[in-house]
Structure 1
Amino acid sequence: MIVIRLLRLFVLCIPFSFIFTGTTYASNDSKEFEKSLSEIGYTSVHQALQDSNKHFNHIISLPIQLPPVPFTHNYGRFNNLEGNINDGFEAEYFNKDLSENHYAIRVRPAENKIKFKKGNIDKTFILNDSNTAIYSTKASGVVNLLIFEKDGWQYMLSVDKRISNKVTSEILVEIANSIK
């Protein structure tokens, strides 16, 4: 049941539209869970990052810091969809026993960035590199987002709303500032 809830969360937390067809059924068995993720394009974070860097011919730097909650799994995916507008990298961190412990990093070229309505922006922050980050609790019903640009990329850090008391906007800013 936890696995099915996590897979649904993957689909629900993406702040832009993707259409998944079919139904995924999985037991709590780790091998079956890993297989189900593999079937929808997830690999190791390292492999997805290598594939993304090669495709874009530009290095994506990831945050060094993670949210202060325990994760049991992490996976990455390079999205190379029709055209270039939705191409990007994503990394997912989650806990198979605590479905609320879910954190994601999505990176896409800044020229194909997703724009957010002012009404969806709760706060703005200035990062250590002087870039502006926006924080939104309104753009998605299930995750809080920190969105910013760095080195030609748009980054979206998302965290499940159920742990927003443990992973605050200020912690997401610290994570953003850990990108070197």
Structure 2
Amino acid sequence: MKLNKSIPLLMFLLGFLIFGTNVEQIYGKTNNTPESFERVFTEVGYKTVDEALEDFEQHFKQELKLPLRIPPISFTHHFGRFSNLEGEINDAFEVKFISDQFPENHFKINVRPVKYRIGIGFSDNYVLKTFTLNNGSVAKYIEKPSLGFNFLVFERDNWEYLFSIDKKVSDKVTPEILVQIANSIDF
């Protein structure tokens, strides 16, 4: 009976000796505390929204306006990221609002130049509603079940904006609320 309980420990030690793995690599830190929520995002290129915005604007040499409003759900963190890939076709700016307490509270803003638009290209089969924003541009509310998010896509000042909201909170963050957020760019 005692031998059965010590087998996992022996396997761990054997793996440690054979592969040279240290405890810090397995657990992230020697005190067994999980890696910080923020660190995970910074390791994949996220930084402050202001830093990412500045990188994006310098790259494209054009100002980008962001909405003054966000969805009326709680968020604990927000991050920005500028993806500068080869060429400009896949370069984009992203703002992510998330909650470490409520994973479904997830709102994202993606922006790219209109000439490289992707969101407007969604099949009209997925467009549930169309809205006219305060600046006269058309916004499409898109629901594609396989993606787990609903989207509001519109163009403004030569940028394509794509707002994404987790389907699990779409009863709290309605298409009309996303339109209000889009209209807050005008102020």
Sort the TM-score into its range (normalised by shorter chain). Answer: 0.7 to 0.9
- Number of equivalent positions: 155
Q: Match for 2:172: what amino acid?
A: K
TM-score by structure 1 length? 0.82
Greater relative contact order (CA < 8 Å, ≥ 6 in sequence): 1
Residues 46, 76 of structure 1: 8 Å contact kept: yes
Q: Paired residue for 1:38, among 14, 27, 42?
A: 42
Structure 2 residue aligned with 1:89: 93
- Deviation of 1:123 after TM superposition, in Å, equals 1.0
Structure 1 residue aligned with 2:22: none
- Deviation of 1:137 after TM superposition, in Å, equals 1.1
- Structure 1 range deviating more: 58-67 or 132-141: 132-141
TM-score by structure 2 length? 0.79
Residue 135 (structure 2) pairs with residue 136 (structure 1): no
For the structure 1 residues 102 and 42, does the alpha-carbon distance in structure 2 shift closer, same or farther, using more than 3 Å as the test?
same
Residues 26, 32 of structure 1: 8 Å contact kept: no
Structure 1 residue aligned with 2:130: 124
RMSD: 1.8
Residues 67, 181 of structure 2: 8 Å contact kept: yes
Structure 1 residue aligned with 2:73: 69
Deviation string for 1:132-152 (max 9, x for gaps)?
000011275211000000000
- Structure 1 range deviating more: 153-162 or 130-139: 130-139
Q: Give the number of the structure whose residues are more often helix, by fraction.
A: 2
- Deviation of 1:32 after TM superposition, in Å, equals 2.6
Alpha-carbon distance in 2 for matches of 1:44, 1:139: 31
User: Please, which runs of 5 or more residues in structure 1 have no aligned partner?
Assistant: 1-24
Alpha-carbon distance in 2 for matches of 1:172, 1:26: 38
Residues 28, 34 of structure 2: 8 Å contact kept: no
Runs (4 or more) in structure 1 with deviation over 3 Å come to none
- Structure 1 range deviating more: 137-146 or 89-98: 137-146
**Percent identity for Structure 1 against Structure 2:** 46
Deviation string for 1:98-155 (max 9, x for gaps)?
0010000000000000111111211110001110000011275211000000000000
Residues 104, 157 of structure 1: 8 Å contact kept: yes
User: Please, which runs of 5 or more residues in structure 2 have no aligned partner?
Assistant: 1-26
Deviation string for 1:146-179 (max 9, x for gaps)?
0000000000001000000100000000000000
